[in-house]
Structure 1
Amino acid sequence: MHLSLYRPRALPFLGPVCGLPGHRCGRILAVVTPLPRDRQLRLARVLSQWRHWDCDPPLPAEPTVAAELGPGFSNSSYKVSSADGRLFTIRLDGVDPAHHGISRQAEWRALHSAHRAGIAPRPRYFNPDLGALVYDYLALDAEREHNTADVARLLRSIHALPPLHHRLDLGERTTRYRRHCTPGHRLAQALAAIDHTIDEVLAWQRGQNNLCLCHNDLLAANRIVSGGRLQALDWEYCAMGSPWFDLAVVCAGDELGRAGCEELLANYLLRQPAQRDWQQLATYALLYHHIEVLWFADTSPEGVDLAAKVDQLLAAAGQVQTLGLPQG
Structure 2
Amino acid sequence: MTAATDDTGLFADLLVRAGLDPGPAPSFTPLTGGLSHRVLRVDGAAGRCILRILDPGVSAAGLGVPGRQEIANTAAAARSGVGPRVLGALDEPAVLVLEFVEGRTLEARDIADPGTLVRIAAACRRLHARTPRFGNGFDIFRKAEELLGRCLRHGLPVPPDYPVRLADLDRIEAALAAAALPPVPCHNDLLPANFIDDGRRVRIVDYQLSGMNDPAFELGDIAAEAQLAPDAVEALTAAYFGAESSPRHTARVRLNRIASDFAWTLWFSVHHGLLADTAATPAFDYGAEAADKWARAVHALDAADFGRLLDRAAGRNAPPAGPAGARPTAP
Return the TM-score normalized by structure 2: 0.77
In structure 2, what is the Cα distance between the partners aligned to 1:114 and 1:255?
26
In structure 1, what is the Cα distance between the partners aligned to 2:3 and 2:213?
45
**Counterpart in the other structure of 1:220:** 192
Note closer, same or farther for the CA distance 1:206–1:125 as it changes in structure 2 (3 Å cut): farther
**Counterpart in the other structure of 1:133:** 96
- Which AA in structure 2 matches 1:90? L
**Counterpart in the other structure of 1:196:** 167
Deviations 1:106-165 (A, max 9, x none): 3323323332332121112222322322112222259xx770000010010011022122
Partner of 1:70, secondary structure, is coil
- Which AA in structure 2 matches 1:225? D
**Counterpart in the other structure of 1:81:** 43
Shift, 1:184, TM fit: 4.2
**Counterpart in the other structure of 1:291:** 263
1:17 aligned residue (5, 9, 17): 5
Partner of 1:249, secondary structure, is helix
- Which structure ranks higher in relative contact order (CA pairs < 8 Å, sequence separation ≥ 6)? 2
1:123 is aligned to 2:105: no
Larger deviation, residues 169-178 vs 260-269: 169-178
In structure 2, what is the Cα distance between the partners aligned to 1:246 and 1:158?
11
Partner of 2:269, secondary structure, is helix
Matched-pair identity in %: 20
The structure carrying a bigger helix percent of its residues is 2
**Counterpart in the other structure of 1:33:** none
**Counterpart in the other structure of 1:90:** 51
Partner of 1:234, secondary structure, is coil
Shift, 1:324, TM fit: 2.1
Note closer, same or farther for the CA distance 1:230–1:54 as it changes in structure 2 (3 Å cut): farther
**Counterpart in the other structure of 2:32:** 70
1:321 aligned residue (303, 307, 311): 307
Q: Is the 8 A contact 1:92 1:133 kept in 2?
A: yes
* Structure 2 runs not aligned, ≥5 long: 273-281, 316-331
**Counterpart in the other structure of 1:105:** 68
**Counterpart in the other structure of 1:264:** 236
Q: Is the 8 A contact 1:46 1:132 kept in 2?
A: no
Q: Is the 8 A contact 1:285 1:316 kept in 2?
A: no
In structure 2, what is the Cα distance between the partners aligned to 1:109 and 1:129?
14
Shift, 1:248, TM fit: 0.4
Note closer, same or farther for the CA distance 1:63–1:253 as it changes in structure 2 (3 Å cut): farther
- Which AA in structure 2 matches 1:308? D
Shift, 1:169, TM fit: 2.6
1:152 is aligned to 2:121: yes
Q: Is the 8 A contact 2:181 2:215 kept in 1?
A: no
Larger deviation, residues 223-232 vs 133-142: 133-142
What RMSD, in angstroms, separates the aligned Cα atoms of the two structures?
2.7
Return the TM-score normalized by structure 1: 0.77
Shift, 1:227, TM fit: 5.6
Note closer, same or farther for the CA distance 1:225–1:137 as it changes in structure 2 (3 Å cut): same
In structure 2, what is the Cα distance between the partners aligned to 1:60 and 1:234?
23
**Counterpart in the other structure of 1:247:** 219
In structure 2, what is the Cα distance between the partners aligned to 1:322 and 1:192?
23
Shift, 1:83, TM fit: 2.3
> What is the aligned length?
286
Note closer, same or farther for the CA distance 1:98–1:119 as it changes in structure 2 (3 Å cut): same
